[in-house]
Amino acid sequence: MRHFITFPEAQNEIKRDLAELGVRVHTETMQDKQIADDPDFETTELSNYIYTVTRPDYTEIEGLHEDWVAQEWEDRLVGGLNPGRAWKTRKEVWEQFLERDKGQPMKGPSKFSYSYSERMGGNHLQTIIDELKIHPTSRQLYLPVWKADPDERRRGERRVPCSLGYWFVQREGKIHITYMMRSCDFFTHYPNDVALANIMQHYVARKTNFEVGTFTHFIGSFHVYAKDVADVF
């Protein structure tokens, strides 16, 4: 496992690891899109990549889409929103993934296959905070995003979460977080995904009167697409 002091240091080293150690692979799908024959989506991939940042500060992250992150965080705190409001600040990324529920009229509302606001917002995060106050040394403080039902039925046909979940633990007066992802696009999503996880870490620390500890990140498939390589390497 690699250790870095700051997020910018981590980003620079991750770029080098992708360039020097990444393996070429071309998957059949990206989200819910068929891309097997599209050369733009040939992938440079690191498998089972893990690192820790010892002084995590999301405001230092390079390439952050600040408007989207701020609104997405608000959507997640409210909970239960789909499609929510954040997607409108990055329509060029998110509009293509809006779905229309079966049986809806042609002009009816669209929403996403899932939303993080639905999966982890509202009472879900509050239970972590409440438990930390009662049992501050607990090892059971996991906030899941992936759900066996319906996600296992959707694989290959509809979008499923890239994030699997977040594990919180308090040690020596600090809230440490481990962020687990099955898949992460380094160019389009990585800065924002990390920022949101670290914002949540800061939020939990503040609500429980602890300091912010380390940020550990595990990614099953850490990748960059051919269409973005020139902007990364």
**What confidence category does residue 56 fall into, taking pLDDT thresholds of 50, 70 and 90?**
very high
> What value does the mean pLDDT take over residues 105-109?
56
CA distance 21 to 227: 19
Structure confidence at residue 153 (pLDDT): 87
> What value does the mean pLDDT take over residues 106-134?
88
User: Which residues touch 226 (CB under 8 Å, ≥6 apart)?
Assistant: 39, 40, 41, 42, 43, 44
Structure confidence at residue 104 (pLDDT): 54
Q: If we measure between CA atoms, which residue out of 137, 143, 134 comes closest to residue 196?
A: 143
**What confidence category does residue 102 fall into, taking pLDDT thresholds of 50, 70 and 90?**
low
What residue segments make up the domains of the chain, in order of their start? Answer: 2-79+119-232
Kindly report the CA angle at 79 between 161 and 107, in degrees rounded to 5? 75
Q: Which CATH code of 1.25.40.10, 3.90.650.10, 2.40.70.10, 3.30.572.10 fits the domain covering 2-79+119-232?
A: 3.30.572.10
Structure confidence at residue 37 (pLDDT): 94
pLDDT of 106 > 60? The answer is: no
> What value does the mean pLDDT take over residues 187-209?
98
**What confidence category does residue 197 fall into, taking pLDDT thresholds of 50, 70 and 90?**
very high
pLDDT of 202 > 90? The answer is: yes
Alpha helix ranges (H) inside the chain: 7-21, 66-78, 91-94, 116-120, 123-134, 148-154, 190-208, 229-232
Of the two residues 196 and 99, the one the predictor is more confident about is: 196
Reading the block at residue 193, the tokens are 């995904």
> What value does the mean pLDDT take over residues 154-181?
94
pLDDT of 152 > 90? The answer is: no
> What value does the mean pLDDT take over residues 208-227?
98
Give percent helix, percent strand, percent coil of the chain, each to the nearest 5.
Answer: 40, 30, 30
pLDDT of 207 > 80? The answer is: yes
Number of Cβ within a 10 Å radius of residue 63: 14
- Identify the three-state secondary structure at position 185: strand
Structure confidence at residue 154 (pLDDT): 85
Please give the DSSP secondary-structure letter assigned to residue 90.
G
Kindly report the CA angle at 184 between 188 and 32, in degrees rounded to 5? 80
Structure confidence at residue 157 (pLDDT): 79
Q: What is the pTM of this model?
A: 0.94
CA distance 201 to 185: 22
